[in-house]
Chains A and B, each alone.
Chain A
Amino acid sequence: MSMAAVETKKITLRTADNHEFEVEEAIAMEFSTIKTFFDENPDASEDTIPLPNVTSKCLSAIIEYCKSHLAFRARETSSSIDEQVRTYDEEFVKARDNESLKELILAANYLNIKALLDMLNQAVADRIKNKSVEYVRRFFGLENDYTPEEEAAIRAENEWAFEGVDPDDD
């Protein structure tokens, strides 16, 4: 204890699958849910925080993300840093399959990490753009609860009334 200069404060988080993660306070404060909790309960920082809605796989990825972004933010802003951030985000998303992406979104939403949520939601939007309705249903694991008549009526309205922008065609 005596030799350390300044010890960074650590927070312990316990995931849904009972793994414990020790993270630096700075990183835990990126999670607005946790920051709010500590702002309201300043004495609680010694306790282990349970995260029943987050798996260890997710939390580990999220911690990596927040660590990297904190490091980026600590450096001076420049267009090359922006480029590096963009590349990092692209790689972060590219590596995830659809299931992991959805899990991460729910976790980021629960932990209220705005920048990560923005990025992930954009990524999901990109994955369902230009896809069929059936693909989108499968992606989200959703059932079609329209009757055939209802579906036909909406399809007609969509295609006939609200069809989409004309390319400039005179």
Chain B
Amino acid sequence: MQKKMAYSFPDEVLEHVFSFIQSDKDRNAVSMVCKSWYEIERWCRRKIFIGNCYAVSPRIMIRRFPEIRSVELKGKPHFADFNLVPEGWGGYILPWIVEMAGAYPWLEEIRLKRMVVTDESLELIAKSFKNFKVLVLSFCEGFSTDGLAAIAASCKNLKELDLRESEVDDLSGHWLSHFPETYTSLVSLNISCLGSDEVSFSALERLVGRCPNLRTLQLNRAVPLDKIATILRRAPQLVEFGTGTYAAELRPDVFSNLAGAFSSCKELRSLSGFWDVVPAYLPAIYSVCSRISSLNLSYATIQSHDLIKLVCHCPSLQRLLVLDYIEDSGLEALASSCKDLQELRVFPSDPFGAEPNVSLTEQGLVAVSLGCPKLQSVLYFCHQMTNSALVNIAQNRPNLTRFRLCIIAPRKPDYVTLEPLDVGFGAIVQHCKDLRRLSLSGLLTDRVFEYIGTYAKKLEMLSVAFAGDSDLGLHHVLSGCESLRKLEIRDCSFGDKALLANAAKLETMRSLWMSSCSVSFGACKLLGQKMPRLNVEVIDERGPPDSRPESCPVEKLYIYRSVAGPRFDMPPFVWTMDDEDSALRLS
């Protein structure tokens, strides 16, 4: 009988096998196999994603993973986008940069979302990482063009600088001139968020001209239309292009120059920008439209008939971001012309107006759900909805994975039957079995949460506003949604009972946000005591919570699991509920 050979894989063979395993989930599984595998794996992990910067500390990360080349971090909760997180709440990147500057001299990539980045941080990045290649700052704030100048001047191997949606103090367009004349490695540049009217156009032109690998270029509004042709002629290899202002006096020579420049861009697949559009200039892009897969018109204030003409030229469109000027008629045209559409986002042109200013209703979304078989991801702002439309959408498109409906006025019922929209959203979760992301709106009772808890087994992130009647609603979600990672709630009458009854669930989720709900200070303290591994943070700008009765609801509550314990960088209006009896930790 031949004995089975003992397979003792040498370390270098294991390391080689691990190099083919990139997903964090698989890497984590590998680290748990046994102690020697943990050791081998931690030395060869190169990429880290940290979904909540306060769930871990830089020290813990560095101690475990000494050879990281790429870090991605997220800071503030998502509701910060709706101004619900007060200024100064946190999410500072500087402490991370300071630690990484010492530990990771070969760091190449930093990607941040909703973090506070200062010029000091940017200067430290520029100084510390000799092989720095990628900087993505998404929804970040706190820095100026001076910090960008430091990056431009020092990072000789920079490939990607992407400032998408960040708030930048645009002090001077001259930061672009800080890229040395010898610098040629740019692949991707997104400066669309820069606000000032100044742009150093000649520096931009020279930069674009000397970077042959440039694939993505997204300009800011300050770049005039008559400069687009110059830029495109220097970079006909572009795959993604974002214009600046798309307005100018209509002149045939400018038009034909522009059209000619676009037509020479054979690789172009994605267009964005389009501020202040003068519709007569839109046909200049028609020559590339047949290959366009992504179109971001969310700043384009053009009317439905112009949008229809444009959309009909784009049969390969997979992703469309557009204002509600597109109206139902435009969405019907989209549904007929763009059979490959996967993602649709319709934004409100007048979110604060009393009456709808456009003819965009539930019908437009129904049409797209019917006509576009590959539609997976929807974000739709509108003024009215019916259960029957939602049921239609659910039946037409069971392959939806992301569905965010934003009926602008809170608590609006089905406008035909005046019923709550429970049944409609119930149909969505029942039919769309792979739904990972859901945002609710309209008039909703506890019933909708019962449907969600029963059917939405793959749901990972749920956003709720002005909905539900009682704690039962919250209880359904926390006890039923097995895959839930992030839950954000505002202005709902959910209170202590469901939260305390489902405390253990909170350790299986990344975070819970509740603002303008009915969770008492006493319940927050109790939760903090019961669950020492959760950070239970009370945000209250009215002053210390213990200056009010314990039964008083807190303004805002942010609960998240952490291996780093409570944080110490809290502003005066944030309190962490400690696990010591009745202790209240002040910042």
Contacts and interface: CB of A to CB of B under 8 A. Distances in A.
Interface of A: 99, 102-103, 105-106, 109, 117-118, 121-122, 124-126, 128-133, 136-137, 140-146, 151, 154-167, 169-170
Nearest to A161: B56
A142 B16 contact: no
B24 A105 contact: no
B272 interface: no
Contacts of A109: 10, 13
Contact of A169 (B25, B29, B50, B437): B437
B7 A102 contact: yes
B17 A145 contact: no
Interface in B48-66: 48-51, 55-56, 60-61, 64
4 closest Cβ pairs, A-B complex: A125-B20, A161-B56, A164-B24, A158-B28
9 contacts: A99-B4, A136-B29, A137-B34, A140-B33, A141-B6, A145-B34, A146-B34, A160-B510, A161-B50
Interface in B307-351: none
Interface string B365-397: 000000000000000000000000000000000
A124 B17 contact: yes
A128 B32 contact: no
A89 B544 CA distance: 67
Nearest to A165: B49
Nearest to B61: A161
Contacts of A154: 31-32, 38
B50 to A, nearest CB: 6
A130 B27 CA distance: 10
Given A157-B56, A161-B61, A162-B49, A129 B34 contact: no
Nearest to B16: A121
Contacts of B50: 161-162
- The secondary structure that dominates the B interface is mixed
Interface of B: 4-7, 9-10, 13, 16-21, 23-26, 28-35, 37-38, 48-51, 55-56, 60-61, 64, 72, 74, 78, 81, 402, 404, 436-437, 460-461, 486, 510, 533, 561-564
Contacts of A128: 21, 26, 29-30
A116 to B, nearest CB: 12
B4 A164 contact: no
Contacts of A122: 20
A132 B61 CA distance: 24
Contacts of A160: 55-56, 510, 561-563
A142 B35 CA distance: 11
Given A102-B7, A103-B5, A126-B20, A136 B30 contact: yes
B21 A129 contact: yes
A51 B25 CA distance: 39
Nearest to A143: B34
A161 B34 contact: no
Given A105-B13, A136-B29, A164 B35 contact: no
Contacts of A105: 9, 13
A163 B31 CA distance: 13
